[in-house]
Amino acid sequence: MDVSQAVKQRISTRAFLDRQISEAEVRDWLETAQRAPSGGNVQPWRVIAVTGAAQQAVIELAQAKLAEDPKGEATDRPIYPADLWEPHRSYRFRVGEMMYEKLGIPREDKAKRIQWFSRNFRFFDAPLAVFFVIDERMGHGQWAHTGMFMQTLALLAEERGWGTCMQECWGILRPSLKEHFKLGETEMVYCGMAVGYPDTDHPVNQLRSERAPVYEFAELNGF
Ligand SMILES: Cc1cc2nc3c(=O)[nH]c(=O)nc-3n(C[C@H](O)[C@H](O)[C@H](O)COP(=O)(O)O)c2cc1C
């Protein structure tokens, strides 16, 4: 598979087959992705991969915590800026509407939408999950570099026939995850990622999110 193909076919996969990924495969995947660049080669990321009982323990933790408060726990690093502005606000709205349309869940059916969203906290039944841990002392540059590592993993997953869904939603359980994974004092979970063989027949995996045309985001000078 060439890189363009991997980039074009990657989607956020939100339904998976019941097919395991082995430890050897996970190790190889992580080792290859470690070639991702980072400023000063700082390699600011740390990952925790969970499957089987370890994954189930995280799912149960999430269920218990979200039963206490469905909004989760406070964080000083919210998923989106407050009052997201245009055009980003509309992009966000649009992809949500497109997803629920694929699932046949109308806007009025808030309960079903919430129920679907809560599948995030079961990793959409993926057999593997990865958490990306970063040291809070790192600056915005290192957060960006961690994102590059994540995208490298997502593309390498495509090559392996796997699907991925990055899951920043786990940010609403940062204090609990920190305790659960016994993170260092200055460490925090930035994001999760569900990983597995995609259920290509599932309607949610038919979603192809849109992108703004190049002229809207790119300035090309001096050609
Ligand atoms: C860092 C990051 C965090 C994300 N968090 C979530 C999430 O918590 N739950 C979810 O369903 N999708 C999540 N997404 C998926 C985005 O909604 C998705 O990438 C976007 O709509 C574009 O769709 P595509 O990935 O299918 O191209 C996340 C994506 C990124 C890059």
* Structural domain contains residue 217: no
What average pLDDT does the structure give for the chain? 97
Q: What is the pLDDT of residues 26-66, one digit of tens each?
A: 999 999 999 999 999 999 999 999 999 999 999 999 999 99
φ/ψ of 68, rounded to 5, equals -70, -45
Task: Name all residues whose Cβ lies below 6 A of ligand 1.
Answer: 11-12, 14, 95, 120, 165-169, 191, 209
* Structural domain contains residue 93: no
- DSSP at 206: G
| Closest atom of ligand 1 relative to the 92 alpha carbon | 21
Q: What is the pLDDT of residues 142-189, one digit of tens each?
A: 999 999 999 999 999 999 999 999 999 999 999 999 999 999 999 999
Cα 168 to averaged position of ligand 1 atoms, centre (Å): 8
Cα 169 to averaged position of ligand 1 atoms, centre (Å): 9
* Per-residue confidence band for 76, with pLDDT thresholds at 50, 70 and 90: confident
Is the per-residue pLDDT at 203 higher than 90? Answer: yes
With tokens 């089987």, the residue in question is 52
| Sequence-separated (6 or more) residues with CB below 8 Å from residue 129 | 49, 50, 51, 55, 58, 123, 192, 193, 194, 195
pTM of the model: 0.96
| Closest atom of ligand 1 relative to the 207 alpha carbon | 26
> How many percent of the chain have pLDDT more than 70?
100
Is the per-residue pLDDT at 201 higher than 90? Answer: yes
Which CATH number goes with the domain that contains 58?
Answer: 3.40.109.10
* Structural domain contains residue 39: yes
Helices (H), 10-82: 23-33, 52-68
Q: What is the total count of domains within the chain?
A: 1
**Residue 65 lies in domain:** 3-79+121-204
| Sequence-separated (6 or more) residues with CB below 8 Å from residue 146 | 38, 44, 45, 132, 134, 190
- Choose the residue to mutate in 12, 118, 177 for probing ligand 1, maximizing ligand atoms within 8 Å of C-beta: 12
